[in-house]
Structure 1
Amino acid sequence: MFAEVGLDAASVETICERAGFTRGAFYSNFESKDELFLALITQLSEDKLDEVSVRVKKLSGSRDVVDLVRQIASMSLAERMEPQLLSEVRTQALRDPRLAEAFLAWRAQMLGRIETIVRDVSELHALPLRMPVADAAVLLLDISEQCSVQAALERLSERQANRAMQSRLEQVVPLLVGPV
């Protein structure tokens, strides 16, 4: 619903109807649509980062950065992380300070997870980073989000979107690795 019509236009009644729950069930789990919305993007993000974390632990011993990017990105990175949802929450957060605070907390949580993944790859494969792990995580998250938005605007299939993101990561990640 949120991706289709946006946060404001998605009524609690419509959300409950589509999900097969009552208003009472909704309000026993969430204080507001904003809380549900943040829970939704958190779950989608966590699921994707869990998949990436598992993939990182199974990487071959390669020190070829592009090969490592291909191994990690061979899963569908664009899957289920609707750029419409992220755009919607950003737009709403610009207007609502409480939602902005919650969005920034969510983003910090995601960045922490990405930092762990970057650190794991760097350490497991003896690949020194040219910048602090936190900066690399921000850059990679920004690239991922921008690639997702661009793919949605271009109406790319999931496969095409994943390939576009993989291609961008293959260009950028080698610039992050190596002696300072």
Structure 2
Amino acid sequence: MPRLTRAESQARTREQLIAGAKDLFLREGYTATSLEKVADEAGYSKGAVYSNFRNKDELCLAVLDAIHAEQAEQLAASLDGVTELDALFDAFQRWAERSIGDQAWTALEVEFATNVRRDPRLRDELAIRDKAIRDTITGVLTTHTEQYGIKLPMPAEDCATALLSLGIGLGVQRAIDPSIPVGVLTEVMRMFAGRR
């Protein structure tokens, strides 16, 4: 097996640190997880953590980015090849049932946001990520409304904000009480599409 370049080795170390931190943050929580624990979990020294991340907050942002990317990939895979509108809603519903309200993920998002609320730089980082998610939803809505000839009841950007807000709120509620149905989100999407 060829030897890794320095850049490849650094990238692999970073990925392993993010994976270890993700496991710990989801299992034990953000506050309870120290950088020493992350280093141990990933099999590195604390110095390796600091050579890749300025602090635990920066590491957590990378973990949240990884979780968001995984969820986006899972959603895209769930919708891949679906061409009929009602089947698209059904595929989304199946993804939502598996993902929205995941207790560990939801707790991490809420705990981190609560911990950094007084830090303007970190709030700005979260706001940038939130806007990127809204922009992605806006793009998906625009593509599908054009494809299926749907007229939304408000601008796509506002629909995206409403859907994301409903999804986040529903996620928090389902993390507390998993019996709360996720179908309300899909029904709102159907209502936006005039398919109720």
* Bin for the TM-score computed over the shorter chain: 0.7 to 0.9
What CA deviation, in whole Å up to 9, does each residue of 1:22-70 have, x standing for no partner? 11221121111111111111111122123323444422333x4xx4321
Q: How much does 1:5 deviate?
A: 4.4
CA distance in 1, matches of 2:91, 2:64: 25
Root-mean-square deviation (CA), in Å? 2.3
- 4+ residue runs over 4 A deviation: none
Alignment counterpart, residue 23 of structure 1, candidates 43, 46, 53:
46
TM-score (structure 1 length as normaliser): 0.81
What CA deviation, in whole Å up to 9, does each residue of 1:63-117 have, x standing for no partner? x4xx432122222333697101110122023122121111111111111222222
1:174 aligns with 2:190: yes
What CA deviation, in whole Å up to 9, does each residue of 1:139-159 have, x standing for no partner? 1111111121111112x3xxx
CA distance in 2, matches of 1:57, 1:131: 27
CA gap 1:127/1:120 in 2 versus in 1, 3 angstroms: same
Alignment counterpart, residue 77 of structure 1, candidates 99, 104, 114:
99
Which has the greater radius of gyration?
2
CA gap 1:3/1:77 in 2 versus in 1, 3 angstroms: closer
CA gap 1:71/1:5 in 2 versus in 1, 3 angstroms: closer
1 or 2 for the larger relative contact order (CA 8 Å, sep ≥6)? 1
Query: Structure 1, unaligned stretches of length 5 or more?
Result: none
Secondary structure of the 2:116 match is helix
Count of paired positions: 168
